Amino acid sequence: MDDDLQPELLLLPLDGWHRRQGARMVPFAGYEMPIQYTGEGGGIVAEHHWTRTSAGLFDVSHMGQLVASGAGAGAALDALLPAHVSRLKPGRVRYSLLLAEDGGILDDLMVTNITEDDGEARYLLVVNGATKWDDIAYLREHLPDEVTLTHLDEQALLALQGPAADTVLRRLFPQLPENFVFMQSVAIRNEDTVLRVSRCGYTGEDGFELSVPADRAEALADLLVAQPEVRPAGLGARDSLRLEAGLPLYGHDMDASRDPVSADLGFALTKSRREQGGWTGHAACAAKIAGGVPERRVGLVLDGRLPAREGAVVYDGARPVGQVTSGGFSPTLGHPVAMAYVAADHAAAGTPVEVEVRGKRLPATVAPLPFVPHRYHRGH
């Protein structure tokens, strides 16, 4: 494509801040994004380990933040998503999926009930950056007229991830609820600013996502990295962390050609709603649950140190039985890991296979996900 026809990359609200911190910026999801930082404590592996042992600060402002509001908003989202949105209590968060009629995954998202004392139903949807414009168009087409969809395009989104994240946030924001656990959300008000804090993330570690007005994002980032437990971390560490946590990335480990059953995301199909139906894609998903699927998303542990990347073919002898969708070297475990779709008869943990990497067949074993146990704070 002619360079003149390439869409111009968008800048994050913290673009200048990242550059001053020594970030190396790369194109991602239509934005210039920090992949890693230079200087002491920088680099993908260092940022990965720091997040596992202390707290990494990630900028995820490329994600789409949308609010569906108005009478019947919960019921309207129930008709689109397999989560029981209308039963979600205020301050609760759920992972869900936007599906096509054939069960294909259009996007994965987080939905939070942010209804306040005025009683007007409001639901915050955080969607993937690369798909947010398609999601907005889809939702505006399928939501009824009485439901308003608002794009919070003047909000930034930061993620503070790691075992020290709770200590840091409570030091800075002592008004956080004492019993604040995984998949809960709260609004903190300070003068004319509202900071929404949600206990969730994409690293497998305990952590928080912080939605803040874009013009206050730099002050918040400065405040966070001034804490001795916090260092900035980029896309590189975010990817290696989510791979170890077995968390799929949209556009790689799932897309419109994949369904929730094959993608091992059946937990997102709320049990009562699987039985009742009434959401887009239900019939197709129910048929796959009942009749089985030809392939499944699994983990792979590879021998040696050479990682398998997306597109690498998985073999059983001479027979191709699958393909890698994400892969890399695991800094935590010290060996390569990958996620792949393999034939259902090869999806059992412990099944030996081979992966072709640079013209060589590398021994691998099907492994359960996650590779590194999740450490979400679910309460005592």
Q: What tens digit of pLDDT does each residue of 217-256 get?
A: 999 999 999 999 999 999 999 999 999 999 999 999 999 9
Structure confidence at residue 117 (pLDDT): 80
pLDDT, residue 190, reads 83
Q: What would the CATH number be for the domain defined by 294-380?
A: 2.40.30.110
Helix locations, 245-344, DSSP H? 271-276, 282-291
Whole-Å CA distances, 213 to 4, 20, 35, 90, 138: 33, 21, 23, 21, 25
Q: Which residues pair with 140 in a beta bridge?
A: none
* Residues in CB range of 164: below 8 A, 6 or more apart: 54, 55, 229, 230
Percent of the chain whose predicted confidence (pLDDT) is above 70: 98
Residue 208 in tokens: 């928080």
Strands (E), the chain: 10-11, 23-28, 31-37, 55-59, 64-69, 93-99, 105-113, 122-127, 148-151, 155-161, 185-190, 193-198, 207-213, 230-232, 295-302, 313-316, 319-330, 335-343, 352-357, 360-367
> How large is the average pLDDT for residues 128-143?
98
pLDDT given at position 118: 81
**Rounded distance between C-alpha atoms, residue 268 and residue 136, angstroms:** 21
Confirm if 59 and 215 have CB atoms less than 8 A apart.
no
* Opening angle at CA 142, ends 83 and 106, nearest 5: 60
The one-letter code for the residue type at 380 is H
Cα–Cα dist 117/129, whole Å: 31
Confidence class for position 1, pLDDT limits 50, 70, 90: very low
Hey, which residues does 157 pair with through a beta bridge?
Answer: 211
The secondary element (H helix, E strand) that includes residue 220 is helix 217-225
CA-to-CA dists, residue 210 to 117, 156, 305, angstroms: 22, 8, 36
Residue ranges covered by each domain of the chain: 3-60+154-244, 294-380
| Fold (CATH) for 3-60+154-244 | Gyrase A; domain 2 (3.30.1360)
Q: Beta 93-99 vs 105-113: how paired, if at all?
A: antiparallel
Mean pLDDT of the chain: 96
- pLDDT class for 129, splitting at 50, 70, 90? very high
Residue 379's pLDDT band, with cuts at 50, 70 and 90, is confident
Percent of residues, the chain, with pLDDT higher than 90: 94
Report the 10 Å Cβ neighbour count for 349: 11
Between the two ends of the chain, the Cα-to-Cα distance in Å is 55
At 291 the pLDDT is 97
What six digits make up the tokens of 108?
Answer: 């994965």
Q: What is the mean pLDDT of residues 64-85?
A: 97
Q: Using an 8 Å Cβ cutoff, are 32 and 9 in contact?
A: yes
Residue 116 pLDDT > 50, yes or no?
yes
Token digits of residue 128? 């993937």
Q: What is the pLDDT confidence band of residue 119, given thresholds at 50, 70 and 90?
A: confident
Q: Is 108 in contact with 258 (CB distance < 8 Å)?
A: no
CA separation (Å) from 252 to 34, 258, 341? 20, 10, 11
- Write phi, then psi, for 23 (nearest 5 degrees): -75, 145
CB 368 within 8 A of CB 299: yes
Decide if 324 contacts 311 (C-beta within 8 A): yes
What is the number of residues in the chain? 380
Tokens (6 digits) for 152: 């919070």
Q: What is the pLDDT of residues 265-317, one digit of tens each?
A: 999 999 999 999 999 999 999 999 999 999 999 999 999 999 999 999 999 99
Distance CA 308, CA 336 (A): 7
User: What's the rounded mean pLDDT across residues 79-99?
Assistant: 97
Residues 7-40: pLDDT tens digits? 799 999 999 999 999 999 999 999 999 999 998 8
pLDDT tops 60 at residue 182: yes
Report field, pTM of the whole predicted structure over 0.85 = yes
Verify cis geometry, omega within 30 degrees of 0, for the bond prior to 370.
yes
pLDDT at 4 over 60: no
Residue 41 confidence class, pLDDT cut points 50, 70, 90: confident
Decide if pLDDT at 2 tops 60.
no
State residue 6's pLDDT score. 61
